[in-house]
Amino acid sequence: MKRKLVLLMLLLMCAFTACSQNSSGVKDKADSETEESEGEKDKDSDEDEDEDKSSKKKNRKDKKKDESADEFKKLEGSWELCYYENYYGVPGDRMDDMDKSFYMSEDDCIIGTVEFYEEDGSWYADMSESHYESFSESLHVPVKIDNSPLYDSCENQEWHVVAENPRKGQTIFKATLIDDNYMIIYSEYSSEDDEYDYADEWKNININSYYKEGSPELENKSELAYLQTVTVSDVAELIAAIDDNTKIILEPGDYDLSSYVGKADNPKAYISDRSLVIDGVSYMKIEVENGQTAELSIDDPYSAVINFADCEKITFDGLTCGHHVEPGTCGAPVLGMRNCYDVTIDNCHLYGCGSYGLEASDCSSIYFNNSEIYECTYGIVSGYRMYYLSFTGCDMHDNSEYTQIELYDSHSINFDDCRFTNNNVSAEYYNDGEFVHADDESGYIYFTGCEFKDNSYGVFTNETDMVEITDCTFDDDVRGTD
């Protein structure tokens, strides 16, 4: 009996052990299956994450591609060079601190074009430039986007394009949009880039400005020379505004230069002996607001109203200028010019008692259009070493007492469709009372389609061989000579 009990206990222990092992095996198998399931889940998660990253990367790439396409689309088409700026200094200079020159392409006889186009999904540019007899071009140049500013102070800080010759590894140009119709091309060189060994370091920056074909700016390209427009209402504001590449709009009213008592902080414009002196200015226009009336005057008979010195590309439009003094007392002109080039006086009224409407020396390409010179004490114009002085559609009347048109060593003087009325050359004065006087050094003077009426003088001119009169009418008091 005892033996049977022991045997039964052994059997129970074996059964318990077997059950424990079986239970452990099932648990281990379940754990293993769970781990495998979790591993597969992690693997799937990693794959999903990789796919998500890849998708985001692709989306960014596609977005970048779309943005590049948008930028190229803005550039697509033909662009015309209108003006260019040159900055010269030394390495490390900021552009604002460098010497600057400005040129209109038409004035410098330069024709430049750039055309952007798409071909087989890629973008290209054709660039050409001609200057007199020289010509250069770069065709079918690949263009790519660079998502950085063209230069530090560029208005477009987002992107620019680079046109590069892949065979030579040569950058043809770098450009960016400033406005929808306005593109610039930028280049920079320095003594460090040059193969020659210069004694002094230098840096040169060129910015060429292009406008898109068909843009309204191209309808009047001369206006592009004015990089800023300023409206003024008094003498102080006028003096402060005078600068290169500036259009100044005068509000209607009287601008009495004699009343200015301040000290002008402008090296290009200041008051000297009550005259307004404009010194060394280029590409400036002064016009009256909305075709109204603005008058510049002084009360000093011995000073010009305005003196121009070393100026070029200046335009006055719609101004009235003169002396507020008793008639017959003036010894200075309304406008004085010295060493000036390409000055245009449009729709202006110059009155006395200034000595002459214009007194100029060492000037060329001076144009008066649809303007008036009247009541001057000496005459209409006096010129010394002038080349190409032109009056078109002008009225000259009630001027006296000396020779009305007096020229020395001057050439190509033209009067077209002008009217000369009631101008008087006193018999008391020199040159036999000549209406036109030119010395032996002067060239031809042309009068075409002009009308002379009620003028009084001794003889019309002393230089009959050098004065050409075509289709003019005369109804004057010609006294002759004694």
Residue 217 has pLDDT above 70, yes or no: yes
Region 100-125: what's the mean pLDDT? 94
Residue 200 has pLDDT above 90, yes or no: no
Residue 18 has pLDDT above 50, yes or no: no
In whole numbers, what is the pLDDT of the chain averaged over residues? 86
DSSP state of 268: T
Residue 118 has pLDDT above 80, yes or no: yes
The confidence band for 106, taking pLDDT boundaries of 50, 70 and 90, is: very high
- Name the residue ranges covered by the structural domains of the chain: 76-220, 225-478
Q: What is the architecture of the domain spanning 225-478? A: 3 Solenoid (2.160)
The confidence band for 370, taking pLDDT boundaries of 50, 70 and 90, is: very high
Summarised one tens digit per residue, pLDDT across range 39-59 is 555 555 555 555 555 554 445
d(CA 355, CA 305): 11
pLDDT at 262: 72
Residue 283 has pLDDT above 50, yes or no: yes
Residue 17 vs residue 355, higher pLDDT: 355
Residue 16 has pLDDT above 90, yes or no: no
pLDDT at 22: 45
Cα dihedral 235/241/245/251 (nearest 10) = -50
Q: Coil, strand or helix: which one is 329?
A: coil
Q: For tokens 């004085």, name the residue.
A: 336
- The tokens describing 116, both together, are 């952007």
d(CA 309, CA 173): 38
Summarised one tens digit per residue, pLDDT across range 401-419 is 899 999 999 999 999 999 9
pLDDT at 44: 55
pLDDT at 166: 80
Region 311-317: what's the mean pLDDT? 98
pLDDT at 290: 83
d(CA 146, CA 150): 9
Q: For tokens 């071009």, name the residue.
A: 137
d(CA 246, CA 227): 6
Summarised one tens digit per residue, pLDDT across range 142-158 is 999 999 999 999 999 99
CATH topology of domain 76-220: Lipocalin (2.40.128)
This prediction has a pTM of: 0.82
How many other CB atoms are found less than 10 A from the CB of residue 276? 25
Residue 127 has pLDDT above 50, yes or no: yes
d(CA 178, CA 184): 7
Looking at the DSSP assignment, which residues form a beta bridge with residue 80? 113, 211
Asked if the domains at 76-220 and 225-478 fall in one CATH topology, the answer is no
